[in-house]
Amino acid sequence: MTTPTIPPLRLGIAGLGTVGVGVVKIVRQKASLLAQRTGRAVVISAVSARARDKDRGVSLSNYAWEDDPVALAKRDDVDVFVELMGGEDGPAKDAIEAALACGKDVVTANKALLAHHGQALAETAEAAGNVIRFEAAVAGGIPVIKSLTEGLAGNDITRVMGVMNGTCNYILTRMQDAGLPYDEVFAEADALGYLEADPNLDVGGIDAGHKLSLLSSIAFGTKVNFDGVELEGIQRITIEDIRQAEDLGYKIKLLGVAQMTGRGLEQRMTPCLVPADSPLGQLKGGTNMVVIEGDAVEQVVLRGPGAGEGPTASAVLGDICDIARGFRLSTFGVPAGELKQAAAAQSNSPAPFYLHLSLEDRPGALAKIATALGEHGISIDRMRQTRHSDTQAPVLIVTHKTQRNAVDGAIDAMMKTGVMATAPVALRIETV
Ligand code: HSE
């Protein structure tokens, strides 16, 4: 090994939860490996968290302590501010802005913050010649940002898809495997500590939507547009839907899809049916998967852990090592000032839809539904009426390709017919 001749890279770590502790452990345990790989020592100068005295299972005695992350970000002995606190605004944003104002590089795992403020932060950083890196913000341990910005840099990216919330994938696959209802599996996920402090971030699709908006920006060279992501959570998925989808040869996944179309940038994070035998269909538990399609490479499938101490710390260390090596990359892969404003597509690409309706079981009910579909230009491909009770008839319809807004229009019309027992479930069938 050659002795490093350049000064150590000095880290200030704000946030000592699961990920922060994971980063501290790797920096301590792999000091010599990191120095070999980057050509310089990587050291921790100072740390910050809410509770100083908490036992975190790792010694912090060699590091200066700051109660205030902003003070940590401003320290003279910190070169890289590592933000692992989370939160869309508040202390995380204040501290990152303080670090950038002092000319420091930033590594963060904060998808919510970047989805909302990424463009402004990138402009600030790049104007001063600093970098913001965020591999850990998207799909945990999967090096998807590195893949897009480096390995696939010679491609026009045509589509990015993925399962990027492990909690939702855990809930859906557990419902499927154990035949348990959503509420019961949600309670299990809560007991296992899988859910975010605000569970709606997970099951409402918001966390995964944040991640998709960041990948879209990198893939298509556009300004982050989280508000342009069509979002739908998994809360209304029933075990019945999962079984019916299975019967048709599909699995239900909370799937993110981003593609640039002639109609604008299409970004969706919605529960979809995907072929059961596809890599996405076979994905189990908390694992994440990102599928990237490019004009030259065709298709790349990345699979790995989407959360947890080791995987997320691994992604943070990848960014730190790049900075230690002197590798400077624009935040979203091209200079922030050159990112295009992408108009959100007003209508999505056509696809077949799965409809699960519950009808009042009386003469003419089905005819009214068929009329509502027909009047919205929707053609039925397959239909099945199963296990009806004395008063209600569950009806499953697979449509030919249609638009989401046509489906929504037909559902509005159905709800006015007086024959719907409950609001229907409508899920896109995605070609993957
Ligand atoms: N809650 C996320 C998940 C991990 O379940 O994948 C952090 O984004």
Say yes or no: 123 and 152 in one domain: no
Contacts of 51 (CB under 8 A, 6+ apart): none
**What is the signed CA dihedral for 12, 151, 282, 345, rounded to 10 degrees?**
90
From 19, 85, 111, 165, mutation site for ligand 1 pocket: most ligand atoms within 8 A of C-beta: 165
Residue 16 lies in a domain: yes
Smallest CA-to-CA distance from 183 within 209, 203, 205 is with 203
Q: Is 218 inside a domain boundary?
A: yes
C-alpha count within 13 angstroms, C-beta hemisphere, residue 84 = 29
Please indicate whether residue 306, judged by its CB atom, sits closer than 6 Å to ligand 1.
yes
Q: Give 359 Cα–ligand 1 centroid separation in angstroms.
A: 37
Mean pLDDT computed over 119-139:
98
pLDDT over threshold 90, residue 4: no
User: Distance, CA 98 to ligand 1 centroid (Å)?
Assistant: 27
Residue 95: per-residue pLDDT: 98
**Ligand 1: centre distance to CA 256 (Å):** 14
| Cross-strand pairs, 395 | 357, 385
Give pLDDT, residue 1.
52
Domain assignment present for residue 372? The answer is yes
Q: What's 422's domain CATH number? A: 3.30.70.260
Q: Does any domain span residue 322?
A: no
The alpha carbon of 263 and the centre of ligand 1 are apart by a number of angstroms equal to 31
Q: Are residues 174 and 263 in the same domain?
A: yes
Question: Do 115 and 190 reside in the same domain of the chain?
Answer: no
The Cβ of residue 354 has, within 10 Å, a number of other Cβ atoms equal to 23
pLDDT over 80 (residue 3):
no
The average pLDDT across 127-144 equals 97
Please report, rounded to a whole number, the percentage of residues in the chain having pLDDT higher than 70: 98
Pocket test for ligand 1, best of 167, 213, 214 (most atoms within 8 A of CB): 167
Q: Is the pLDDT of residue 2 over 70?
A: no
Number of domains in the chain: 3
Backbone torsion region of residue 254, taken as left when φ is above 0, otherwise alpha when ψ lies between -120 and 50, otherwise beta: beta
Name the residue with the closest Cα to ligand 1, atom 7: 307
Q: Read off the pTM.
A: 0.95
Q: Does any ligand 1 atom lie closer than 6 A to the CB of residue 165?
A: yes
- Closest-CA residue, ligand 1 atom 4, reads 307
Task: Tell me the CA–centroid distance for residue 142 and ligand 1, in Å.
Answer: 13
CB-ligand 1 contact for 196 (6 Å cutoff): yes
Give the tens place of pLDDT for each residue, 29-69: 999 999 999 999 999 999 999 999 999 999 999 999 999 99
What is the average per-residue pLDDT within 23-28? 98
User: Do 16 and 103 belong to one domain?
Assistant: yes
Q: How many CA atoms lie within 13 A of 7 on its CB side?
A: 6
Closest atom of ligand 1 to 307 CA is 4
Domain boundary among 116, 137, 158: 137
Same domain (yes/no): 27, 67: yes
323 in any annotated domain: no
Is any ligand 1 atom within 6 A of the Cβ of residue 307? yes
**194 alpha carbon to ligand 1 midpoint, in Å?**
8
Confidence of residue 191 (pLDDT cuts 50, 70, 90): very high
Across the range 229-251, mean pLDDT stands at 95
How far does residue 306's CA lie from ligand 1's centre (Å)? Answer: 6
How buried is 235 (Cβ within 10 angstroms: 0-12 exposed, 13-18 middle, 19+ buried)?
middle
Q: Is the CB of 207 under 6 A from ligand 1?
A: yes
Distance CA 115, CA 92 (A): 13
Question: 82 in a domain, yes or no?
Answer: yes
N- to C-terminal Cα distance for the chain?
46
Ligand 1 centroid, distance to 103 Cα (angstroms):
30
Q: What is the pLDDT at residue 346?
A: 78
Average pLDDT over residues 1-22: 88
Which of 76, 109, 137 is at the close of a domain? Answer: 137
Domain boundary (287, 317, 345) is at: 345
Residue 431 binned pLDDT confidence (cut-offs 50, 70, 90): confident
- Which atom of ligand 1 is the closest one to the Cα of 194? 5
pLDDT at 157: 97
Does ligand 1 lie within 6 Å of residue 167's CB atom? yes
Q: How many of the other CB atoms lie within 10 Å of CB of 119? A: 20
Statement to judge: residues 231 and 261 lie in one domain: yes
Which atom of ligand 1 is closest in space to residue 288's alpha carbon? 6
**For the CA of 165, the nearest atom of ligand 1:** 6
Q: Which atom of ligand 1 is nearest to the CA of 196?
A: 1
216 and 275 in a single domain? The answer is: yes
288 Cα to the center of ligand 1, angstroms: 9
Residues 273 and 420 in one domain: no
Report the alpha-carbon distance of residue 122 to residue 114 in Å, rounded.
9
The whole-number pLDDT of residue 407 equals: 96
**Any ligand 1 atom below 6 A from CB of 137:** no
Same structural domain, 238 and 217: yes
In a domain, 96, yes or no: yes
Pocket test for ligand 1, best of 172, 188, 196 (most atoms within 8 A of CB): 196
- Measure Cα distances from 52 to 60, 214, 239 in Å: 10, 33, 45
220 and 301 share one domain: yes
For ligand 1, say whether the CB of 166 is within 6 Å of any of its atoms.
yes
Closest-lying ligand 1 atom to the alpha carbon of residue 211: 8
Question: Residue 347: its pLDDT value, please?
Answer: 77
CATH classification at residue 204: 3.30.360.10
> Are residue 243 and residue 376 in the same domain, yes or no?
no
- As annotated, the active-site residues are 211
Mutating to test ligand 1, I would choose from 110, 135, 202, 203 the residue with most ligand atoms within 8 A of its C-beta, which is: 202
328: Cα separation from own chain's centroid: 24
Q: Are strands 392-399 and 380-385 parallel, antiparallel or unpaired?
A: antiparallel
Domain CATH for 28 = 3.40.50.720
- Both 341 and 364 in a single domain? no
User: Containing domain of residue 236, as a range?
Assistant: 145-306+337-345
